[in-house]
Amino acid sequence: MHEHEATHRAAQQTEHPTEPPTDHRTETEHAASRAIASRIEALHTHDPEFARAAPSPSVVDAVRRADGSLIGTISAAMSGYADRPALGRRAERIVEDPDTGRRTTELLPHFETVTYAELWREAGSLAAAWADPASGGLNAGDFIGVLGFTSTDYATIDLACMYLGAVSVPLPTGWSAARLAPILTETEPRILATDLGSVDAAVDAVLATESIERLVVFDYDPRVDDHREALQTAVGKLDGRAPVVPLQEELSRGRRLPALEPRDDGDPDRLVGLIYTSGSTGAPKGAMYTASMITRMWQNSRTGTPNAAPGSDRPVPTIVLHYMPMSHVNGRARLISGLASGGTGFFTARSDMSTLFDDIGLARPTVLSLVPRICDMVHQQYLLEADRLSRTGTPRPARAEAEAAALTRVRDDMLGGRIVSALCGSAPLSSQMHTFMAEVLGTKVIDCYGSTETTRPVVVDQQVRRPPVIDYRLVDVPELGYFATDKPHPRGELRLKSVGLVQGYYKQPEVTARAFDEDGYYKTGDVVAEIAPDRLVYVDRINNVVKLSQGEFVAVSRLEALYSTSPYISQIYVYGSSEQAFLLAVVVADREQLALEQVDDDAAIRAKILDSMRELARDAGLNPYEVPYDVILEPQPFTIENGLLSGVGKLLRPSLKDRYGARLEQLYADIAGGRAGRIAALRAAGRAAEPLEAVLAAVQITLGYPASMVVPQAAFTDLGGDSLSALTFSTVLEQIFDTEVPVQAVLSPTSTLAGIAEHLAAAPATASVPRPTFASVHGRGATEVKAGDLTLDRFVDEEVLARAPKTPDWTDPSVNWADPSVGRTDLPGERTDPSADGTSPTATGNVLLTGATGYLGRFLAVEWLERVAASGGRLTVLARGADDAAAGHRVLACLRGASGDRTDWFDAVAAQHLEVLAADVSAPQLGLDRTTWERLAAETDRIVHSAALVNHVLPYSRLFEPNVAATARLIELALTHRMKRFAYVSTIAAAMMPDGTFLDETADVRTASPVRQLNDSDANGYATSKWAGEVLLRDAHDRTGLPVVVFRPDMILAHSRLTGQLNLPDRFTRLLLSVVATGMAPRSFHRLDADGNRRRAHYSGLPVDFTADAIASLSARSRDGYVTYNSVNANDDDVSLDEIVDWLIRAGHPITRIDDYEQWRVRFEAALRGLPEHQRRLSMLPLMRAYARPTEPRTSSMVPARRFTAAVAESGAGGGAIPSLSADFIDKYVADLRALGVL
């Protein structure tokens, strides 16, 4: 396992760092801090309660200088702030029902408080009562279990445990006796204290736990009938098993007893309490808190809210509203923080949170402790208030005004109007929610990262806190694709050493051993990214990452945080499976908001929720697979009581999976069955199916989108479709309509779903027009293709072939080829001037070009435009488009970019010499009307066929029409009326033989490579389709004398001069981007020699500007006959992919070389999956099978290119020499990627 030592600096072993942390705040954040400082100053001046609650410097010093014992520290705070209000509970009055006479309580709009002195005295009284031998004589070190919601009584009990020297065991509220049983069995408490709301579970626990001798009931009022009856029921059920005593009786008895001296033996390692983990990812474990750990919590809370208001030297008072359970470290820490700093802690009145916002409004806290669930509640209240304001008022306010007014009302009325500090912990907020909370509170929301085991935050606002952190490291999580070598930032599981870190789990030595690594670092189980030394960004829990069937990793808790901001979602549990390609969710809907919008039936609610999630996902830039495909609506909320939430509102995933897992898996099965059923129904309907309905349904089935997202005007690629999903989509449609649906038509950016439906609707009318297909030429299901299959008469009508003109003799000196009238009677060929040597034409006449919107094609177009303009000719470009204007718009946009800084020249020349026609080169007559076809056949002198569907994944059968049939269509045009010259852009892969050798430039491709095997190897389909085009051209030349020049380029690289001109989707660009972005490369991309050393190798790429110039120059010089150029980089320069990585490293890019190729491949692929979407989409991921294993190194001599090398030198193309790749060129590549925003 690779470990990344994120920092090697050891923190000083002190609680008071000598140097402040680096300030990473922006000017905006500084301005916000100044505004908060101003508010604090104003509150100190005008709010007496605020000023009186500020920490006292003398008491802070006394707490810090206490004798070091826990009791000494607490006593210093309690005596120092003796007369201040310490804790407050909502005031109540007894009311009697006039009909039944039963007495209940009614909350009053204020709090009743107890002072620090009173609180500490009550804790001593309770300790005395429990230590009294007459009631069993509790001893120091005995365990006391506490079950209930946070309150003044709870705090009194907790302080009494410390006073007595007992071990406090706060139990998770809302748990049943069965869930509590393992904890109680493990801890063996002698006393169990419970609030009235948990008394039933407590009674069952007493009956099941032999060690419990006494049940103490707190938050009990004997004047309330329900309280009294519940107590009597408990007494009856226990039937003498253990006494049931109200807390007030214990306190009264303790007051009458002699005062008890606090028990503290001074041992800093003495066990003081157990905090059980939430169980959100497994069984709860009791983290052991010692006296020294709790002492530090009191001493380190001396300022209340550190860093709350940088820029202000005025202390911030800690007035807080407590609602978090004491069984969670955050609830305990907030209580200690307030008491240690002389503040006042108020308690929410109801455990179900029904009074939370009333309580906050009355308490008017200065510090607000947040968890995501509370933020969701604030957000929902804001939405309701904004909706109410927008519907009322005279005149009715605009929505923006209503939202602004709602923010003010929530901040000033519901939240009290004096919050100057807010802290969020327990789980991360979505960025949207974080922004909203900062806006509504009017203050920065401090993000705190810690855990039960760390006892306090170790990372605050992404900054590692030193102290308490001594050291940390990031450790690779290879199964999830997180590595210390990840770019742009190292990622991995956070492991740390920290002051105050728990030493283990009570009575669970094996679990403790697993929690720490061999060097004593605590394994947090959290993945973080290190964006700078000591700056960490939380990524997710290891257990919260789901790997989908297609290999994508999804952080479900992040999605839950995002989707919880929907106004229609109250709670959500996102579910995924490694056997499925999409997510599902269980949602508790916000029925109140939905009712306001008059959405009430389940189908409409589901649709509203799904639409809302998709909108949030779009705004957040999520991938389609990160949006739940469907949801289960749950009418009952997730609660602590039903076991689905932890004490602080975190989802208990094991419990949620137990409850909903079977239903969610059934929903997966239903969705699969529904898709299969829909396909079957459409197949059964066959041609009777309505085409548009079938197309929309096929998209939904293929991409997993609901009907609401799939509209006729959408393009398949706009919906996230790629070549593989396009293949599936077209196959579904072909099975329904028995009509070929070309993949290139599906992937075309100009093709809409409605257009595909129109193609299907027109299919019966055009069925009588024979069109060559893969099946008709090679046989359905063929696994090999033969050159003998690819004869021109299977593509072009015999009559056209019979009338085809023969090639003129360009060397005949008796003919004046400069005369435009020459050749017009028999249409022999091109109307050009002879070359200087009188043997071949060099001017261009009228040129027809395909593929001008492609990467090479755009530069070819500029080259040819320059040539035709010089000779007074015309360049006709065929391109896809709804009409000529739309096609022209696409072509002009591409060509302007390819002309660099010569846009003025380009615009002027294009206006005179460029014609753009909307066409489909694979359709009969190129998709042109008859008149245009005839005109082009009569006027065109040269055809340059650069268009192709370049795809390394699709099979030959799916590339047959766009790459093979299209070539035949253009050959037909070349042979109609007058002979044209034909230039064909093939690929060097077409010349590659099964043994790895390459055809030379003189071989007849039909005899040298008569059969091609079809398989799923990399680029097999594409290479075979280009080979097939060469075979057809050879046949056409033999039949008619068609002059042909074939170019077989290898990798076509970036432009050597123009900024940003590179082919983002090509293999080399993807590889370069991926290596730089991940910072990983293998020792060698090729097989090593016997001694394990790199071997000499060569990379055969050429810049696009050189390639375009060479093709245009050599095409213009071409003579009669059939000429092939292996247009590759044939330099013997030892420039390989390995050398290119060397250049990148020397240029300063942090790239780690990994010796073992397989290890590199696994880690590289995992790191690619972890890249941001804009990089991952352009990475090597789709083409990784090309790098499944190291390749045999290729040298320049392996590809025969003597003819091409000589022709370049003779013509002067590209300066007359084939360029070698250089470090400067690779530097430009990286600069281009940065300029395009990809790196």
Distance CA 41, CA 137 (A): 51
The mean per-residue pLDDT over the stretch 511-530 comes to 94
Is residue 1207 domain-shared with residue 1069, that is, in the same domain?
yes
Q: How confident is the model at residue 353 (pLDDT cuts 50, 70, 90)?
A: confident
Are 476 and 492 contacting, i.e. CB atoms less than 8 angstroms apart? Answer: yes
Exposed, middle or buried, 796 (CB in 10 Å: 0-12/13-18/19+)? buried
SS3 19: coil
Task: Provide the pLDDT for residue 981.
Answer: 96
- What are the phi and psi torsion angles at 633 (to 5°)? -85, 125
pLDDT for 1120 equals: 82
Binding site for NADP(+): which residues? 853-856, 880, 890, 946-948, 986, 1022, 1026
Could you tell me if residue 952 is inside a domain? yes
Identify the pLDDT of residue 26: 58
Q: Please, where are the H alpha helices in 173-246? A: 177-187, 199-208, 225-238
Which residues fall within 8 angstroms of residue 897, CB to CB, at 6 or more apart? Answer: 858, 1061
3-state SS class at 471? strand
User: H or E segment at 759?
Assistant: helix 753-766
> Which tokens in the block code for residue 247?
């807390």
Residues 604 and 611: beta-carbon distance below 8 Å: no
DSSP state of 347: E
Instruction: Return the closest-CA partner of residue 130 out of 245, 275, 3, 7.
Output: 245
Q: Are residues 621 and 706 in the same domain?
A: no
- Nearest-angstrom CA–CA distance, 1012 and 631: 49
Q: State residue 626's pLDDT score.
A: 86
Buried b (16+ CB within 10 A) or exposed e, 550-578: eebbbbbbbbbbbbbbbbbbbbbbbbbbe
616 three-class SS: helix
Choose one of 1023, 1042, 1061: the last residue of a domain: 1042
**Domain membership flag for residue 556:** yes
Query: Mean pLDDT in the chain?
Result: 87
How would you class 1122 by CB atoms within 10 Å of its CB: exposed for 0-12, middle for 13-18, buried for 19 or more? buried
Q: Is the pLDDT of residue 80 over 90?
A: yes
Instruction: Decide if pLDDT at 154 tops 70.
Output: yes
Ranked by mean pLDDT, the top range of 244-248, 349-353, 591-595, 921-925 is 244-248
To the nearest whole percent, how much of the chain has pLDDT over 70? 90
Tens digit of each residue's pLDDT (9 = 90 or more) over 1127-1178: 999 898 889 999 999 999 999 999 999 999 998 998 888 888 778 778 888 9
**Tokens of residue 71, six digits:** 């009791």
Q: Which residues are annotated as a binding site?
A: 328, 426, 452, 526, 538-541, 547, 650, 853-856, 880, 890, 946-948, 986, 1022, 1026
* 478 three-state secondary structure: helix
| Amino acid letter for position 780 | R
Establish if 757 belongs to a structural domain: yes
CATH of the domain at 96: 3.40.50.980
Asked whether residue 1037 carries a pLDDT value surpassing 80, the answer given is: yes
Which of 1042, 1070, 1090 is the last residue in one of the domains? Answer: 1042
734-759 pLDDT, tens per residue?
Answer: 878 877 787 777 877 677 888 888 87
> Which has the higher per-residue pLDDT, 619 or 762?
619
Q: How confident is the model at residue 126 (pLDDT cuts 50, 70, 90)?
A: very high
- Co-location of 1081 and 1215 in the same domain: yes
Q: Tell me the binding residues for AMP.
A: 328, 426, 452, 526, 538-541, 547, 650
pLDDT at 637: 94
**What Å distances lie between residue 531 and 309, 462, 538, 539, 594, CA to CA?**
24, 9, 11, 12, 41
Whichever domain contains 700, its CATH number is 1.10.1200.10
> Comparing C-alpha atoms, which of 425, 295, 291, 423 is closest to residue 365?
423
Q: Give residue 632's Cα distance to chain centre.
A: 24
- 256 belongs to a structural domain: yes
- Whether the bond between 467 and the residue before it is cis, its omega within 30 degrees of 0, is yes
908: left (phi over 0), alpha (psi -120 to 50) or beta: alpha
In this structure, what CATH number is given to the domain that contains residue 919? Answer: 3.40.50.720
Query: In this predicted structure, which of 335-344, 625-634, 660-669, 734-743 has the lowest mean pLDDT?
Result: 734-743
Helices (H), 942-1066: 956-959, 966-975, 1005-1008, 1020-1040
Any idea what DSSP says for residue 924? G
The percent of residues above 90 in pLDDT, for the chain, comes to 59
Predicted TM-score (pTM) of this structure: 0.65
Question: In this predicted model, which residue has the larger pLDDT, 704 or 167?
Answer: 167
71 in a structural domain: no
Say which residue, 210 or 678, is predicted with more confidence.
Answer: 210
Q: How large is the average pLDDT for residues 764-793? A: 83
φ/ψ of residue 72, rounded to 5: -60, -40
Q: Give me the mean pLDDT over the 987-1010 stretch.
A: 94
- For residues 287 and 505, is the Cβ–Cβ distance under 8 A? yes
Given a cut of 80, is residue 950 above it in pLDDT?
A: yes
The sign one gets for the Cα dihedral 671, 675, 680, 681 is: positive
Query: Max CA-CA distance within the chain?
Result: 135
Q: Name the strand (E) or helix (H) holding 897.
A: helix 884-898
Token duo for residue 1172:
């941001």
| pLDDT for position 305 | 41
Q: Is residue 97 assigned to a domain?
A: yes
Distances from the Cα of 11 to the Cα of 76, 294, 387, 772, angstroms: 29, 21, 51, 75
Least confident of 317-321, 720-724, 881-885, 1015-1019: 720-724
**What pLDDT band is residue 279 in, cutting at 50, 70 and 90?**
low
* DSSP H helices in 498-601: 509-515, 556-563, 591-596
Q: What end-to-end distance do the CA atoms of the chain give, in Å?
A: 28
Is a pLDDT exceeding 50 seen at residue 212? yes
1219 and 1073: one domain? yes
Task: Give the pLDDT score at 628.
Answer: 92
Residue 477 lies inside a defined structural domain of this protein = no
Distances in Å between the alpha carbon of 1048 and those of 551, 822, 1052, 1107, 1126?
35, 33, 11, 10, 5
Same domain for 1071 and 1038, yes or no, is no
332 in a structural domain:
no
- Which of 433, 376, 442 has the alpha carbon at shortest distance from 409? 442
What pLDDT, on a 0 to 100 scale, did the predictor assign at position 780?
Answer: 86
- Give the pLDDT mean for 634-639: 94
- β-sheet with 569-575: strand ranges across: 569-575, 584-589, 630-633
Cα–Cα dist 744/879, whole Å = 13
pLDDT in tens, 451-467: 889 988 999 999 999 98
The residue among 113, 391, 129, 80 whose CA lies nearest residue 246 is 129
> What is the span of the domain harbouring residue 1057?
1053-1235
Closest CA to 1143 of 1062, 1222, 1069: 1222
pLDDT, position 396: 62
Q: Are residues 869 and 789 in the same domain?
A: no
Q: Please, which pLDDT band fits residue 652 given cuts at 50, 70 and 90?
A: confident
For 642, residues 6+ apart whose C-beta sits below 8 A from its C-beta are: 636
Running DSSP on this structure, what letter comes out for residue 317? P
Distance of CA 808 to the CA centre of its chain: 62
Q: Residue 937 has what pLDDT?
A: 95
1027 shares its domain with 1057 = no
Q: Number of structural domains, the chain?
A: 6
Cis peptide before 365 (omega within 30 of 0): no
- The answer to whether residue 767 scores a pLDDT higher than 70 is no
Read off the pLDDT of residues 549-605 as tens digits, 9 standing for 90 and up.
666 778 888 899 899 999 999 999 999 987 787 899 999 999 988 998 889 899 999
Shared-domain flag, residues 1111 and 1228: yes
Query: What's the pLDDT at 14?
Result: 35
Owner of token pair 């650069």 = 946
So what's the pLDDT on residue 836? 34
What pLDDT score was predicted for residue 135?
Answer: 84
Which amino acid is present at 478?
P
Radius of gyration, alpha carbons of the chain: 39
Tell which of 637, 653, 669 closes a domain.
653
pLDDT for res 681: 78
The reply to whether 884 and 956 lie within a common domain is no
d(CA 690, CA 688): 6
Alpha helices in 1147-1192 (DSSP H): 1157-1169, 1173-1176
- The answer on pLDDT for 1125 being more than 90 is yes
Residues 6+ apart with CB under 8 A from 155: 87, 119, 326, 335, 345
Residues 893 and 989 in one domain: no
**What per-residue confidence (pLDDT) applies to 1?**
36
Instruction: With cut-offs at 50, 70 and 90, classify the pLDDT of residue 28.
Output: low
* 158 and 229 inside one domain: yes
CB neighbour class for 609 (10 Å; exposed up to 12, middle 13-18, buried from 19): buried
Asked if the model's pLDDT at residue 148 lies above 80, the reply is yes
* Segment among 12-21, 356-365, 1188-1197 with least mean pLDDT: 12-21
- Work out the pLDDT band at 433, boundaries 50, 70, 90: confident
Same domain membership, residue 149 and residue 248: yes
CA–CA dist 128, 235 (Å, integer): 24
